[in-house]
Structure 1
Amino acid sequence: MNRVRLGIAILLVLVLISGGTVWYVHQQTTRLLAQLDVLEDAIDNGPLEAAEEPFAEFERQWEKTEVLLNIMVWRERVSEIDVSVSHLNPMRVSDCDELRSEMTELRMRLVHLHDFEMPSWKNIL
Structure 2
Amino acid sequence: MVNSTSQIDPDGYPVLTVTLMLRRNFTPLVLNTFLPTFLLTFINQLTNYFSDYGTLEGIIAVNATIMMTIGSIFISTFNSLPASTYIKMIDIWMIVNLIYPVIIISCHTLMCQLTRQNKKGLLSSF
Give the structure-1-normalised TM-score.
0.45
* Largest Rg, 1 or 2: 2
- Which protein has the bigger helix share? 1
- Which protein has the bigger strand share? 2
Give the structure-2-normalised TM-score.
0.45
Q: Which has the higher contact order (CA 8 A, sep 6+)?
A: 1
